[in-house]
Chain A
Amino acid sequence: EIVMTQSPVTLSVSPGERATLSCRASQSVSSNLAWYQQKPGQAPRLLIYGASTRATGIPARFSGSGSGTEFTLTISSLRSEDFAVYYCQQYNNWPPITFGQGTRLEIK
Chain B
Amino acid sequence: EVQLVESGGGLVQPGGSLRLSCAVSGFTVTTYRMSWVRQAPGKGLEWVSYISYSSNTIDYADSVKGRFTISIDNAKNSLYLQMNSLRAEDTAVYYCARHSVNVLPFDYWGQGTLVTVSS
Q: Is the CB of A102 within 8 A of B112?
A: no
Give 1 or 0 for each of A32-45: 1 = CB within 8 Å of chain B CB: 10101010001111
Dominant secondary structure at the A interface: loop
Tell me which of B10-18, B59-67, B79-87 binds A.
B59-67
Are B105 and A34 interface neighbours, CB within 8 A?
A: yes
Within 8 A of B (CB), among A61-108: 87, 89, 91, 94-102
- Bound together, the chains give a CA A42 to CA B107 distance in angstroms of 14
Number of interface residues of A (CB under 8 A): 25
Cβ of B104 under 8 Å from chain A: yes
Q: Is B45 an interface residue (CB 8 A)?
A: yes
Query: Would you call A46 an interface residue if the criterion is a C-beta within 8 Å of the partner chain's C-beta atoms?
Result: yes
Knowing A95-B59, A96-B61, A96-B62 are in contact, say whether A46-B47 is a contact too (CB < 8 A).
Answer: no
CB distance from B113 to the nearest CB of A (A): 11
Out of A42, A98, A100, A101, which one reaches B47, CB within 8 Å? A98
CB distance from A106 to the nearest CB of B (A): 15
Do the beta carbons of B35 and A46 come within 8 Å of each other? no
Taking A43-B109, A43-B112, A44-B109 as contacts, is the C-beta distance between A99 and B47 under 8 angstroms?
yes
| Cross-chain contact B50 with A95 (CB below 8 angstroms) | yes
A99 to B61, CA, bound (A): 13
Residues from chain B with Cβ under 8 Å of A44 in the complex:
45, 95, 106, 109
Which residues on the A side are within 8 Å of B45 (C-beta)? 36, 38, 44, 87, 89, 99, 102
C-alpha spacing A46/B105, complex, angstroms: 8
A49 and B47 within 8 A (CB): no
Whether, in the assembled complex, B46 has its beta carbon less than 8 Å from a beta carbon of chain A, the answer is yes
User: Which partner residue on chain B sits nearest A98 by CB separation?
Assistant: B47
Q: In the complex, which of the residues B44, B100, B111 contacts A99, with contact meaning CB atoms closer than 8 Å?
A: B44
| Other 9 A-B pairs with CB < 8 A, given A42-B111, A91-B103, A95-B50 | A32-B104, A44-B109, A50-B103, A55-B107, A91-B104, A94-B59, A94-B104, A95-B61, A97-B47
8 closest A-B pairs by beta carbon, nearest first, are A43-B109, A91-B104, A34-B105, A95-B59, A97-B47, A49-B105, A99-B45, A101-B44
